[in-house]
Structure 1
Amino acid sequence: MRKLALGLALSLTLAAPAAAETVAIVGGRILTAGPAGEIPQGTVVIRDGKIAAVGANLSPPAGARIIDARGLTVTPGLVAANAHLGAVEVRALGDDVAVSNTAIGAAFDVQYGLDPQSTLIPVARLAGITRAIVTPRAAGGGTGDHMHGDEGEDLTAGGGDDSRSHALFGGQAAVIHLGEGADILMQPKVGMVVPFGGGGARVAGGARGAQIVALKAVFRDVRDYMRNRTAYDRAGLRDLALSKSDLEALIPVIEGRTPIIARVSKLSDIRMVLKFAREERVKLILNGAEEGWMAAAEIAQAGVPVILNPLTDRPENFEMLGATLENAARLHAAGVTVVIEGQGGAHRVREMRYNAGNAAAYGLPYAAALAAVTINPARVFGVADRIGSLEPGKEADVVIWTGDPFEPLSQPTAVFIRGEAQPMTSRQLDLRDRYKDLSGAYPVAYPR
């Protein structure tokens, strides 16, 4: 009966403009991922697309649409880091997360290739994911690029530029929302992808040392360009390795406003990246860091967050001999901000919550595991003032679950993005429903 009431309430919610209504989700176990922590039985009030109130003893506002969440769990929408949602459909047929162009490397910006109609977005949304950080795929391939399962294949820098300096950079990431609509972009230019380790060595000519030398040379070029823009425009400046577009794109990195998303696995490479960032005075995010636990204290001291897949524990190559299922727990214990990513950049990103559950099973505190898929990615990419937790004033990304969100058998019964209830279906489910019973009239174009 309760499920029927919830379904009726949601159908009414979908029929009304979000900005014109107030919704009260009452009686649920609320995991705020914010200062309030867990509220065993409470109320979340949504008004005009924002969270208006959260608490244990709140009376629903007069005229609010009531959703009975007794026996259910309420959380913030999950935030998928290092995703390719909206930029890929079928990997074998191409995507919008990689570029081979001698004039474009750092300037490549995923925001311009986003597809709000991607069939993969509803699938992720049905797993409670409401936002994603869409990252480019860096040149170089292999573990240095941390490719994901069904999407993993080596990419090499293209074009005829012998220096290949453009290939040192994968391009710029963007934050998107997964709600329905024509524009899913939330925040562009939130990070610059750079492959290190084996991937970085490949694009730099085959050696790790060559990559660092090349990066330092590029950063000197950017600083010269910043001081001499006028000379550059009149061809009065020495030859620079990068195009003007790439030079311009790297200015926020040099100024410390845009972080480098460093894709790296090996302990020695991690230490080298930390040193490089310290010397160049740039912000840094480690991505992958399979051997990160071995340098946990150093990473924490540097204030560098880590995006990781906690299921990576096999020594698939010499860059990951120290991989362990306890990586997330050990990094967190040392004081590192941990962000957990999904099993795949697009097609398996829905498994992110399972990854968080596995990290909790291997020592990561439950609250930290929840933070790793909600507020932490929001903080790391500079949007925590808007999303990531259930706090008054934030955009109302809210998920109602049948049980614990890390339990595979639990499923969302309702997903709100910016206060709007989302359809609980996908192309895959529609096709299932269309063909699961052919005992009656066949669908159009399928006569007996």
Structure 2
Amino acid sequence: MKRQFLKAGMAGLLLTGILSHTAWSQSDPTGKRRVTETYAITNATIFASPGQEGTKGTVLFRDGVILGVGANLQLPKEAQVIPGDSLFIYPGFIDGAGMAGITKPKDPERPKDFVSSAPPDEIAGITPWRSITDQFSISASQVDDWRKAGFTISQILPDGGMIPGKASILVLGNPGTVNVLSENSALATNFRGSRGMYPATAVGVMAKFRNVYQNTTLALDHSKLYASAAGVSRPEVTPTQTAMSAVVQKQIPVVFTAASDLEVRRALALQKELGFRLILAGLENYESVIDLIKSTGTPVLIKLEIPDDKAIKSQKADSASTATKAQYDRVKEAYDKALKQASLLEKAGVPFGFSTMDTKPGDALKAIQTMVKNGLSEKAALAALTVNPAQILGINRVAGTIEKGKMANFVISNDSLFKESAQIKHVVADGYVFDYEVKKKTPKDNGKSDNGTVKVEGLWEYTSETPAGSSGGELTIAKEGDDYSGTITYDDPSGGGKVSAPIKNVAVTGKTITFEFDVNAGGNNLTVTITGEISGTSMEGTMSVAQFGSFPLSAKLTTPGLTF
């Protein structure tokens, strides 16, 4: 079958995807298929590493590996070119400890002879032999949500009890493969006690961890002695001890989730006593232990979240008593201190990364920007997203910066990441290009009717930005009673100029309009959905079809109020 790109436009794009089985000229939003393994993002502003000034240039990559970065690269003929004008490229973000795409295993049944003071390890939540590869799904919606937030690599932790199992470092790339960068990269541990049995408290967790660690040490010593000397009884090694051996032998670290300053102290005390390699993760309240963390040189992954400000916004100081106002002041002071904690780590010279556990992907950029507003430098913020976690996880040879030979992992935004206007337009993970909708900022609405609904009747000229290129047409909308009707023109898939179709299922709610139209592409009838937000005589929205995803669309009302 002839492999060629048809005329740009949504219909052409759809027909191409169905008949020619070619990938789109930039990428497939799902990242599932590519017409070539070679890409070039041209004329973009590149921030190759934290602290470096942005420079205009091109990033060339093939098979998920960066081939070159610079202003005068020679591009191979097979390279798919993604215009990067007005775009900003950063190294792909790295999540030091996350749980996206994880399902919690079922709790095992308690045996008939169950004793709550001495439960079996699996019943008590001690399962170091488990691996996240048994719990993880790359196609989970959470994975795409975090990828959309800019994360291209994540050390995924298993869910479960106090020792739920071993983490792995995964690339959030091709949804069709496992994408393991480093399997069994760390042991996940936390202070979560067991309900109705030992260990039920944080102190009990410490005691049990100490017991498991020391018994593993004894079992290893016994095995060595049995292998080297005669007359030694055969060692009985449990699954827990076998799985813990890598920790005792310092082959992998323990990622200890410690949200509060007290939990940080407890984790550091265990490390000092037993000598295992430690990474502190999920830190929320840590200002009072920053000096302690620095003195021990322990790697830190703080929670990618800022405290909720609802308590601040709900304060009504005008009518409050003196005592209440004093309480308000204390709440505000605690809130302000929490926002400044990351900057205090930077001032203390403690490099840190981020953990996304129990946080929302949609709030990630806002959290970073808020930390910067409260004293964290942009250099330190970018380092916390890239080079610091790469160093902590031991993957800095292949990730963390944009350099020749490293993995093709990028975040591509429409503005500086540290500005409120920044939106992520593309994410490249392991060389797979994912496209995301960017909504243009529009002025406040000045075209509302008396009932608060915008006026949509008239002739609109629209432009759609599909990966196959830019195309456009005309949209006419008329109102008959409470119903709307109209037509839309688009590029004929067969290359015969413009064709038109009636629009249907038109709905106008507040500033939002939605409608559909049908496209016949090579005998296949496809329904295209348009959703737009109207401000005055401008519309910004998306054009989408279930099989292919969504693409930006903008329109201008050139002749309002026409009747058709």
Length-normalised TM-score, structure 1:
0.74
Q: 2: CA distance between counterparts of 1:204 and 1:339?
A: 33
Q: 1:225: how far off? A: 1.2
Letter matched to residue 30 of structure 1:
I
The aligned counterpart of 1:189 is 184
Kindly tell me the number of residue pairs found equivalent between the two proteins.
Answer: 385
Segment drifting more, 100-109 vs 212-221 = 100-109
2:379 is the alignment partner of 1:367: yes
2:143 is the alignment partner of 1:121: yes
2:53 is the alignment partner of 1:38: yes
Deviations 1:144-186 (A, max 9, x none): xxxxxxxxxxxxxxxxxxxxxxxx4122111122222232322
Q: 1:277: how far off? A: 0.8
Secondary structure at the counterpart of residue 38 of structure 1: coil
Letter matched to residue 418 of structure 1:
D
Q: 1: CA distance between counterparts of 2:189 and 2:294?
A: 21
The aligned counterpart of 1:298 is 292
Letter matched to residue 77 of structure 1:
G
Task: State the Cα RMSD in Å.
Answer: 3.9
The aligned counterpart of 2:40 is 24
Letter matched to residue 188 of structure 1:
E
Distance 1:407 1:33, change over 3 A: same
Q: 1: CA distance between counterparts of 2:164 and 2:383?
A: 27
Question: Structure 1 or 2: larger strand share?
Answer: 2
Q: 1: CA distance between counterparts of 2:251 and 2:395?
A: 14
Pairing partner for 1:111 from 119, 123, 133: 133
Confirm or deny: 8 A CA contact 2:97 2:354 kept in the other structure: no
Letter matched to residue 410 of structure 1:
A
| Structure 2, unaligned runs of 5 or more | 1-7, 14-22, 110-121, 312-333, 438-504, 508-512, 519-524, 528-564
Length-normalised TM-score, structure 2:
0.60
Secondary structure at the counterpart of residue 405 of structure 1: coil
Secondary structure at the counterpart of residue 11 of structure 1: coil
Q: 1:299: how far off? A: 0.8
The aligned counterpart of 2:350 is 336
Q: 1: CA distance between counterparts of 2:411 and 2:72?
A: 19
| Structure 1, unaligned runs of 5 or more | 89-94, 140-167, 426-432
Q: 1: CA distance between counterparts of 2:402 and 2:287?
A: 30
Letter matched to residue 309 of structure 1:
K
Confirm or deny: 8 A CA contact 2:378 2:418 kept in the other structure: no
Q: 1: CA distance between counterparts of 2:105 and 2:526?
A: 34
Letter matched to residue 423 of structure 2:
Q
Confirm or deny: 8 A CA contact 1:193 1:260 kept in the other structure: yes
2:167 is the alignment partner of 1:173: yes
Secondary structure at the counterpart of residue 240 of structure 2: helix
Secondary structure at the counterpart of residue 338 of structure 2: coil
Letter matched to residue 191 of structure 1:
A
Confirm or deny: 8 A CA contact 2:66 2:405 kept in the other structure: yes
Q: 2: CA distance between counterparts of 1:97 and 1:413?
A: 38
Q: 2: CA distance between counterparts of 1:419 and 1:278?
A: 41
Superposition pairs of residues 229-240 of structure 1, within 5 angstroms:
229=223, 236=233
Letter matched to residue 285 of structure 1:
I
Pairing partner for 2:89 from 74, 79, 83: 74
Q: 1:372: how far off? A: 1.2
Letter matched to residue 269 of structure 1:
E
Secondary structure at the counterpart of residue 326 of structure 1: helix
Letter matched to residue 49 of structure 1:
G
Letter matched to residue 192 of structure 1:
L
Distance 1:384 1:390, change over 3 A: same
Superposition pairs of residues 86-165 of structure 1, within 5 angstroms:
86-88=101-103, 95-96=104-105, 101-102=122-123, 105-139=127-161
Letter matched to residue 123 of structure 2:
T
Deviations 1:306-349 (A, max 9, x none): 21225454799xxxx8971111111122122211234745xx23
Q: 1:62: how far off? A: 4.5
Distance 1:350 1:375, change over 3 A: farther
Q: 2: CA distance between counterparts of 1:97 and 1:187?
A: 26
Superposition pairs of residues 382-393 of structure 1, within 5 angstroms:
382-393=394-405
Deviations 1:58-90 (A, max 9, x none): 3343434433222211012222333222224xx
Give percent identity, aligned residues only.
22
2:18 is the alignment partner of 1:11: no
Deviations 1:107-149 (A, max 9, x none): 121112222322332333222222222112353xxxxxxxxxx
Segment drifting more, 388-397 vs 243-252 = 243-252
Q: 1:289: how far off? A: 2.9
Confirm or deny: 8 A CA contact 2:44 2:88 kept in the other structure: yes
The aligned counterpart of 1:263 is 257
